[in-house]
Structure 1
């Protein structure tokens, strides 16, 4: 599955920067195949529901819940940071600890303080601390910041919280440049070797932590943080994968749910192959919208005025095929060229946010007409969070570690992928082949999955606001409908628009509804739609 994160995260152009991912940020397309279970279909209603944990704190965990963090100034003026300890293994609290990085910006007033508002931009693997300091603490409405302490926790294995590591910069360059659309046995073997090398790197460098970075464990960490902050209820805004994290918290701790916003929702009841297939179709929907926008002008590099989305898609696929045979040169200090896989990721990155479409048009124009792959390579790099010195953030490592632990792999062998290719290419003639092969990654993971596809009902929880965008590429609208339907207190807010997630992206209707919920606890009326 594609990386699922908010376009307002550190991956926004500079998303040019996952998204989708981020944009670009928030499951890594070429890394993880995000989810779980076997088979493309199934009766989600028959899947087990996530069972809540006991309402009282286990005495063995009391020392974690009762700790007093030492806050210090950090980052820009007004921010404080601290470290919160959590058990490495909740089943064995004395078997080691993980240290979680927490940051906050205190409520500014006026008005009475409502508590802490935790924010998570998605991923898995997106840094919540970076998101808070780079966007949320200033980008959220002043009224919300006045009444809440804005708080971020980097989940275990992510960024500042004992990050998972897998490959060095040159190793990641080789990995991201691998051909993800193999044409023959030799290329298939090469792709499998790349998956194995990545997995072995994670297992060798992060062996101890790799078994304990699941979403369930991260959700339990959030409850420790809630208690440490002195809040009786958890107030939370999660985007993309952050909706899965927030919904998991609600399922485990329904009595502790305060005001939860789940924006760009994932459906926790779907098996991996179905998740990947749905997301493949979601990117095709987004590309269709981009194609229609592109050919409205006179200079679309993929077709003349009035060309159909199908024609635009075929032109892009032909371009990818040309790159497969002969990568384009790029102005890159490390001598990299624009390969088919890197170009595909650059295009996918721009699907997260319609604001990136002009940048994508310029990049495609440069590549197609001037034979210069520099701009598309930059889009790909921003998605992967590759810095100018060739260093990568830990985003993709954590993304794979969490996804491969949360749920069983979609495919267990290249033969299974080949059998599924017609279905994926039907869902997206442009991206289907790449996304099907990307879903093979977890087959070679060194740690067995601990989770499964489950419904999340959160019986007894306070009202939970679920937001879905009708043309969201990374988290299709149907997932938001499904999650809102599973949650006993879920209320769906629909944004009829493009891009990944909806809050803070320009819709006064969406923003007003979310702000009213956060500030007053008022949920939108049933069936509310915004544009």
Structure 2
């Protein structure tokens, strides 16, 4: 079995003067959502935005947006734009997804909840790199490099992908798919909805998008929630290398889970389960089982630890591989977005969002260091990406997240997040300065609000969104009883 795992990671503000958007034209015409997006009450539409925001009257592209309207005009405050992460993830159906996660009625009363596919993604001028099936399944996280030759091999593969992106039928969009451009699209959405300000709820990569938006448009930002935070530069070299320590910090939760359940046969102590990880990875490096090699095993473990609810399936996969049996398979996703587009749009964004080292030797060094420091997954996060061979420059230089603006940002963060660890969130917190407060939940996994079980953290975010009440100081929410 192969599964795609996406995560769901700078320079100074642009020197060029970007023309402000013109007066709002007519807003979107709301209609039925596509069948694969439809949820009760969710309506969909489109707006046009400039391909190049420096030329607002030039070529336009179309963004797909959705709205779950408040049914309580007396309590409605405005609009809450949302982003589920990525970059490269579709967000058109995310308002419905938040309802499935039990978004409180008080929040639904307070806002029209807005979803959208960012530029280059899904139904918003989708981009491609003409990726082969094998390239698609390599996904958005580099493979674990066992030695220097693995880095060199992946460098060749990465260069090929970068060349394909540069020759693809959407190569004209290469300079224009970036977080800065998407943040400016968000302000066009605000304008099209005839709102003076917007609020925002973003997860994972969405934290970088929200931080860039509120840096560019502090006076148009209302209440900004950033959940599971990347470093201020987004999914840059620093953010990528945090995958190694992230998994090391999170893995003991799974080790305790598996050790307490002898039916999986993975060891009766956390130490034994940890040893089993390295044993299985080494065996699969030499002899794959049922389509799993060592890299896919490590990647599946990393991705499964995003949620506590996935631990039983992960333990069952380990047991199957350990006994040379077919691993259980997950239900196929019915998402409208193709895997090829998800991976391609991810690359377009992260390669424009920061300057990646060009020298293969720098990756050889970093992989060697991180393989020793974080042996479970460090040699994946530090490995080379196609960005090292990218052929174009972004139309707008990456935005440096800053602390100028109103005190209207709340960060939510788990202490043991494998993908966006607390250490990165603390960097984001410092970058936003007195604009921000952070609520930290003593729990594992990727995602706090509505996803984790910590009532203190969930209530803190709900109160901020509905009343504007924010902790006077950073808040730590202790672990909730099981």
Same fold (TM over 0.5): yes
Residue 43 of structure 1: aligned partner: none
Could you tell me how far 1:62 is from its partner in structure 2? 0.8
Residue 194 of structure 2 corresponds to residue 249 of structure 1: no
- The 3-state SS of whatever aligns with 2:262 is coil
Contact 2:203 2:228 in 1 (8 A): yes
Greater displacement, 138-147 / 490-499: 138-147
Q: Please say if 1:434 is aligned against 2:416.
A: no
Q: CA RMSD in A?
A: 3.1
The Cα of 1:511 is off from its aligned counterpart by 1.5
CA deviation after TM superposition for structure 1 residue 157, in Å: 0.7
Q: Aligned pair 1:193/2:156, yes or no?
A: yes
Distance in 2, matches of 1:180 and 1:386, equals 29
Cα distance, 1:173 vs structure 2: 5.4
Give matches, 1:43-58, under 5 Å: 50=13, 58=19
C-alpha distance in 2 between matches for 1:464 and 1:188: 39
Q: CA deviation at 1:178?
A: 9.6
Do the aligned residues in 2 keep the contact of 1:466 with 1:490 (CA within 8 Å)?
yes
Corresponding position: 1:366 with 2:330: no
Paired position in structure 2 for 1:124: 87
For 1:442 and 1:222, locate their aligned partners in 2 and report how far apart those are by CA, in whole Å.
25
Shift of 1:326: 1.9
Residue of structure 2 aligned with 1:62, choices 22, 30, 33: 22
- Normalising by structure 1, we get a TM-score of 0.80
1:521 aligns with 2:475: no
2:430, 2:151 → 1: CA distance?
Answer: 40
Q: 1:242: Cα distance to partner? A: 0.3
Distance in 2, Cα, partners of 1:506 & 1:175: 32
- For the 8 Å contact 2:176–2:394, the answer to whether it is kept is no
Matched, 1:144 2:103: no
* Contact 1:277-1:427 within 8 A present in 2 as well: no
Unaligned runs of 5+ in 2: none
- Cα distance change, pair 492–179 in 1 and its aligned pair in 2 (3 A): closer
- Between stretches 79-88 and 425-434, larger displacement belongs to 425-434
Q: Report if the CA contact (8 A) 1:164-1:398 is conserved.
A: yes
Q: Distance in 1 between matches of 2:162 and 2:416?
A: 33
Q: Cα–Cα, structure 1 residues 189 and 509, in superposed 2: closer, same or farther, change >3 Å?
A: closer
Q: How does 1:91-110 map to 2 (within 5 A)?
A: 91-109=54-72
Check 1:145–1:137 CA distance in 2 against 1; reply closer, same or farther (3 A cut): farther
Aligned-residue offset at 1:340: 2.4
Q: Is 1:202 the equivalent of 2:165?
A: yes
Shift of 1:405: 0.8
Q: CA deviation at 1:221?
A: 0.5
Question: Which of 286, 293, 307 is the equivalent residue of 1:339?
Answer: 293
Of the three residues 423, 444, 447, the one matched with 1:498 is 444
> Structure 1 residue 262 and structure 2 residue 226: aligned?
yes
- How far, CA to CA, are the matches of 2:427 and 2:282 in structure 1? 37
The Cα of 1:220 is off from its aligned counterpart by 0.5
Matching residue of 1:3: none
- Inter-CA distance 270–84: structure 2 relative to 1 (3 Å threshold): closer
1:434 CA drift (Å)? 2.3
In structure 2, the residue corresponding to 1:468 is in which secondary structure?
Answer: strand
- How far 1:453 sits from its partner (Å)? 7.2
**Alpha-carbon distance in structure 2 between the residues aligned to 1:483 and 1:52:** 23
In the alignment, what sits opposite 1:351? 305
- Report Cα offsets for 1:345-392 as digits up to 9, x if no partner: 2111112112211110011111111332x43xx46x97xx7989x962
Distance 1:168 1:403, change over 3 A: closer
Match 2:31 to one of 55, 68, 72: 72
In the alignment, the residues of structure 2 paired with residue 479 and residue 184 of structure 1 have an alpha-carbon distance, to the nearest angstrom, of 27
Residue 195 of structure 1, CA deviation = 1.4
Note if 1:478 corresponds to 2:423: yes
Q: CA deviation at 1:415?
A: 2.6
Given candidates 303, 313, 317, the residue that maps to 2:274 is 313
Ranges in structure 1 where 5+ consecutive residues have no aligned partner: 1-14, 20-24, 28-35, 37-46, 330-336
2:413 corresponds to: 468
Match of 2:116 in 1: 153
Q: Give me the TM-score of the superposition, normalised by structure 2.
A: 0.88
Equivalent position to 2:145, from 157, 181, 184: 181
The yes-or-no answer on 1:223 pairing with 2:187 is: yes
1:419 and 2:365 are equivalent in the alignment? yes
Question: Does 2:56 correspond to 1:81?
Answer: no
Q: Deviations over 1:420-448 (max 9, x none)?
A: 233212332111222222x3331122223
Counterpart selection for 1:507 from 441, 454, 459: 454
